[in-house]
């Protein structure tokens, strides 16, 4: 009987560990690891936390001897549920982030070619990621593009998929850390006054939310660009 109480916790632990591990090592497709293994484990955790928590409350009220088992069985599901909810609540359910919501850079190739930006996401993005802004430089666009390209080549995990000096646009692919989902980032350089402006856009191929991955990617690029510029001045 004791094994039945512990079975949900065992399945939950397997799901939350095997899902990311199997995709990170390339054993399964990211969609399978996430949707078929990890998400069911999270759903089971939520249901088990509610079920065992309710059972423990009933057992306590009725002075049943199995109330302690119900409480113990609820611990892991509750911890996993709280962890998942806390992690997900840290970012909005959007997966297309840009430094120019009014005129976002267009994807030039691949699966996201022609993908439109939903302008309705702009206020949500501004509220969640107000720190994201274009890179403004007092150099000609051609020079700014070379700097942008050099930074992209130095970004860990990025694979350049498109470069066009004529339009001062480049595109790269990157993968998320655990589930290895493919995201695309496009970088556009334009003249601005006597200088240049660099805008970025990062979008996931799948899903609605991204747990902040695209904003973090843009933020990391901007930091790497500014760091590279500072080092070159020194």
The series of mean pLDDT values per 10 residues for the chain, 234 residues long, is 79 91 86 88 93 90 86 91 79 92 94 91 92 96 96 96 96 89 95 97 89 94 87 54
* CA geometry: angle 176, 155, 213, nearest 5 deg: 30
Distance CA 86, CA 98 (A): 25
Spell out the domain ranges in the chain. 2-88, 96-233
pLDDT at 60: 87
pLDDT at 231: 64
Contacts of residue 90, defined as CB under 8 A and 6 or more positions apart, other chains included, come to 211, 212
Please state the φ and ψ torsions of residue 118, each to the nearest 5 degrees.
Answer: -80, 105
- Which CATH architecture fits 96-233? 2-Layer Sandwich (3.30)
């Amino acid at each position: 009987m004791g094994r039945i109480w512990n079975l949900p916790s065992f399945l939950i632990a397997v799901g939350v560990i095997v899902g990311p591990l199997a995709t990170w090592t390339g054993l399964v497709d990211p969609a399978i690891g996430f949707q078929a293994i990890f998400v069911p484990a999270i759903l089971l955790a939520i249901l088990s936390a509610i079920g065992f928590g309710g059972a423990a409350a009933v057992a306590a009220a009725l002075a049943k001897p199995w109330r302690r088992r119900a409480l113990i069985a609820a611990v892991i599901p509750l911890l996993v549920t709280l962890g998942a909810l806390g992690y997900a609540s840290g970012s909005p359910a959007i997966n297309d982030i840009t430094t120019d919501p009014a005129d976002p850079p267009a994807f030039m190739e691949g699966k996201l070619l022609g993908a439109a930006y939903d302008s309705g996401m702009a206020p949500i993005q501004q509220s969640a990621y107000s720190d994201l802004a274009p890179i403004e430089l007092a150099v000609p666009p051609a020079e700014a593009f070379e700097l942008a390209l050099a930074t992209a080549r130095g970004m860990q995990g990025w694979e350049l998929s498109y470069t066009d000096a004529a339009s001062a646009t480049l595109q790269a692919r990157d993968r998320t850390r655990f589930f290895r989902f493919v995201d695309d980032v496009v970088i556009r350089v334009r003249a601005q006054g006597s200088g240049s402006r660099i805008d970025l856009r990062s979008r996931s191929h799948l899903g609605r939310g991204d747990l902040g991955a695209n904003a973090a990617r843009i933020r990391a690029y901007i930091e790497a660009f500014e760091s590279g510029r500072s080092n070159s001045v020194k």
